[in-house]
Each structure stands twice: as C-alpha cells, then as structure tokens.
Amino acid sequence: MMRRALLLSVLLLSVPLIAGCAAPPAPDMGAVEAKPASDWQAGAMVAAANPLAVEAGLAVLRQGGSAVDAAIAVQAVLGLVEPQSSGLGGGAFLIHYDAASGDVAAYDGRETAPAGARPDMFLTASGEPEAFLAAVQSGDAVGVPGLVALLAAAHRDHGRLSLAADLGPAIRLAEEGFAVSPRLSRVIAAVAGFGPLLPDAAAYLTIDGTTPLPAGHILKNPAYGETLKRIAAEGPRGFYEGPVAAAMVAAVRRGNAPGTLTAEDLKGFEARRLEPLCRPYRAVLVCGMGPPSSGGIAVLAALGMLGQFDLSGGAGDARAWHLLIEAERLAYADRDLYAADDRFVAVPVAGLIDADYLAGRATLIAPDRAMAEAQAGTPPGAPQRAADLSGRWTGTSHFVVVDASGNVVSMTTTIEGPFGSQRMAAGFFLNNQMTDFSFRPADEKGRPIANAVAPGKKPRSSMAPTIVFRDGRFLLAAGSPGGNAIIGYVLKTLVGVLDWGLTPQQAIALPNVVARGKPVVEAGFDGGLRAALSAMGHEISEARAGEASGLHAVMLGADGRLAGGADPRREGIVASP
C-alpha cells in the first residue's frame, strides 16, 4: 500500500504527481514538513452538517475511537438524516493526517462509470444533450458507489474500534427514528418543484406521494439499519456483494430509463489511497485532493497566484476581494479545460500548480480592474483540450474530525444531486454522479473534452477537502459542498484564516464569491464593497446565491486550543467530547 510521510523540505515540497514530471521550485521559506504531534494536548472536535451526526462522532470519540472511527459514525448518520447530500450510495474524498507518524494520505472513493457506459449516453438521437432532469432520474445516472470502500480502506489503516461500534449510532437512529430537520423538509419541497419525484423518492420523502415530509416528522428507516448491520458484520463485501448489491442493480435496471450497472461493476470497485497534492502558500503548507477531483488543483492554483500579492488589507478591503476574484477566475478557466480522471486522459497536474506558471498567470491580474475574460493558459505539459462546463447540482456535505491524539480527517462526501438519482436500494439513495461527466464527448470542432464519459472512468469532481500545516504542525482543516462552487467557498475560507487572521467561524461567514467566467456570484456583500467591486468592472450577481455553501472547519489556535466553524447557511454545529 502506498504510504509516505509528507515531510518535505523546500526542494521536495511538491509530491510527485505524474511520472517524469519534476516538482516545481518552491519559494525560499525554510523547511516545511508535516511532523508527528507527539505532544498533542489540544483535545478533540467534530464539525459537521447535522447535530445528530456530530453527536454520533463525539460518542465514538468518547469510546476511544480515532478520527476515522468518528468519521465513519458521522457519515453513517449523515446518510440517514441528510440523504439529500450524501450516503452509502455515493462517493467521497478524504484527507487524513496521522499525528503519530506525520503521514498525510488522500483516499479516493469517487464513483466510477459502469462497464456499460458510453461516451454518447447522455445525447439524444439528434446528437443534442439530454434534458438534465431526465438524465438525473435515469438509471444511466448511477455510478458505482465508492463511499463504503473508502471508509473501509481508511478504517483498515487508522481505525481503533470495530465497524459495529462506529455504525452503532446510525443503526439506532434508523430503527428508532429521527426528526426530519427544517432543511431536509425544504429540500424535499424544492426538488419536488422541479418535477414529479420518482416512486422511490416519493414513497420515502412524502406523506401521500406528493406532500413533503414536514419538519419534526419522525422518520424511521429499518432497511438502512439492516444494511449497516450487514456492513458491520461483513465489511465492504456485505455492500458490494450479496443482497445489498442485488438491490442496487435492480434499482438501476427498473423503470422506463434503465441503466447498465451490474453485479460485476459493484464487486470490482476498489478505493484508492493516494498522495495528496501539497504546495506552500506563504508560511504554510496546503494539502488537498488531486484527480479525479479538480478542487485541490484549482484551490492551490488560485493560492499560487494570490501569493504574488499583498492581501493584508483584510476582509473589508475591496482590492483584496478583487485579487481573490481574479485569481479564482483564472484557476477555474484552467480547471474547466484540463481537469479530469488522470487514469484516462493526460492531466498536467504539476504544470497547473507550477510556481513559475502561476507567477506568470498572476501578471494577468490588474491591481484595480477586472479582466474582460478569463482564458485558460498553457501550463507545462498541457494537451490540447476543449472546455467542459459540466456540474450543476450540489448534493454534497463536508465534515472535519480531530481526535484526542491529534489525528485529523477532512472529508467531502456526495451523492451528486439532491437525493441523487431518486432511486433507492436497501434503505439508501443511489447517486446520479454520472451526470458530472460532460454530456458531449467533444466540442463543435471535434476537440476532445477531458471529462467525457468512458467505462470505468471517474467523473471530474470539484470537492476540495483540505488540511493546512504551519511549522510542520496541523493548523487547519476545511472543506465544503456546493458543486463547482466548492472551489470558491474553500478558497475564501483559507484566505480569511491565513491572510486576514480570522477565526474559522468568521472566515466561513464571509460572503461567498464564485467567480467562474464573467459574473461574480456572491451572497452578502455590503453596499460599500459591492460598489467598489462594481467600479472595478466586476459584474455582481446573486443568481446562484441559493447554491449555499456548507463549510466546516477546525483550527489549532495560537493558544493551543481547537476552534471550529460551522456554516450558518446550513444546520451544522461544532462540538467537543
């Protein structure tokens, strides 16, 4: 199994990303490495999107569980109480810091395309992209779920308790029932407003087939509990084989738009343990997820450009926001053109976050004027590609766990759209992750799109679980849901903490800025900042303000204590055992 400490002196600050590609030079900032936390005394903390999930994680920590044990408990409850966002039928990315060894590892549980997937599967007979909702609700939308395999792999490496202990809180909630939260009730109503729910979703999420479950309704899901019991007893084999696997295949194959998922697709899935992407930013080391996620690449690229500027003006400085917006736009432009599953297409990962390349990109940013249009650049090793603008839905969640030994989990988890494909099996929703692929395999000039569908391929993601180190010690873990807007959400939070000296809660509460293409999408600038940014040429729009973040973060403060943040736009909390 791949295993290596993230240790790295100045000359080795870049993890080797692609065979034959040299690491880019790092700035002169002294030795930076992730070190063991043998003197850890800061305690433990959980930050997640639902109080019941947080309490499940805390219960496992009180039993002596590790950060990974608690993460399994958090995820199992989130899949029950927040099924619009994540669950057993989806996938995830996880970054883990091992306090005893200093190792930092990335776990890839992204869904894969079934063997029967085709590049043109989301095109109509006339060659046009299929209507998005029709694609979401089709069996073709379902990728092979990767979450359970990821959790099992992380548990093998870092778990202390049994899977039965980790899954116990969720099993009890599934059997005894839980109160539907206000947000869950609102999301049910919103999704039903797009069109009729599929029979599975209507039966589970409504009272009479049409009326959304109200907040406070006690919802039980014994089938979900039975699935968790099978996983606890048999491990991932209890999910990817046997009756649960058969139920997934049947759910995908039924209805007027069946998919191709098979028992062989499920049995063959394996989670991957990878090296994280790590780059210096000022006096810290920022580690995130590489392909098939574009999130870590884009966040590191934007930070690499911002490192050329002085952002010390703080959160009230329009110039600082302008620089953040422009760097974000340039990072998105590169991301849209080049990022995809690097097992299938050449992705110039090292080039996209190369220090010299990003310094050159930063020269495109005027200090006080918005650029007319952000164009993709040509990083070292760049292939010729056509841009892809896929990614529309935001059924995702993020949580952070720090345990009593100083181990850290930063995990982003998803089923793609709200309630995924709306198809249920064995008590859980199946993802619609295949709609994260480009519906077109090539542009009008015939240039290939990197994120086109292929059998066994993972759709490009924007998830960006992140861990930051200062002086080799853990400093901050953060991440967010939000579709392709995740990149903007995580970036402004990192800048808020690292450049503006804010607490995680203050940084999370800052206005959300998503600058992809021409508009600047925001949700909360005051009149002065709005006017100043408009004067610089930025087009301010709130058209996607409803695509709310769900940021969660935990930080080790200068006083040696943990401080957390939970996004006020959702229902999450931060708590310690």
Q: Cβ contacts of residue 538 below 8 Å, gap of 6+?
A: 322, 325, 370, 520
The answer to whether the beta carbons of residues 315 and 510 sit under 8 Å apart is yes
Rounded to whole angstroms, what are the CA distances from 309 to 117, 302, 306? 45, 12, 5
Pairwise CA distance, residues 480 & 493, whole Å: 10
Cβ–Cβ < 8 Å for 281, 162: no
396 a catalytic residue: yes
From its phi and psi, is residue 471 left (phi > 0), alpha (psi between -120 and 50) or beta?
Answer: left
Nearest CA to 233 among 141, 162, 309?
162
List b or e across 106-117, with b for residues whose CB sees 16 or more CB atoms inside 10 angstroms. Answer: bbbbbbbbbeeb
Instruction: Look at residues 320, 276, 290, 285 and name the one whose alpha carbon lies nearest to residue 304.
Output: 285
Reference 392, options 460, 488, 483; nearest CA is 483
Q: Mapping DSSP to helix (H, G, I), strand (E, B) and coil, where does residue 481 land?
A: coil
Of residues 416, 326, 401, the one with CA closest to residue 367: 326
Tokens of 482: 């939000």
Q: Where are the beta strands (DSSP E) in 282-394?
A: 284-288
Instruction: Provide the β-strand partners of residue 89.
Output: 430
Instruction: Check 396, 413, 414, 466 and give the catalytic one.
Output: 396
Count of helices and strands (H, E) across the chain: 18, 20
CA distance 306 to 366: 12
The answer, yes or no, to whether the previous bond of 367 is cis (omega within 30 of 0) is no
* Cα–Cα distance for residue pair 317/529, rounded to 1 Å: 8
Strands 519-522 and 539-541: parallel
Residue 395 pairs with which residues in a beta bridge? Answer: 416
User: Exposed, middle or buried, 256 (CB in 10 Å: 0-12/13-18/19+)?
Assistant: exposed
**Active site members:** 396
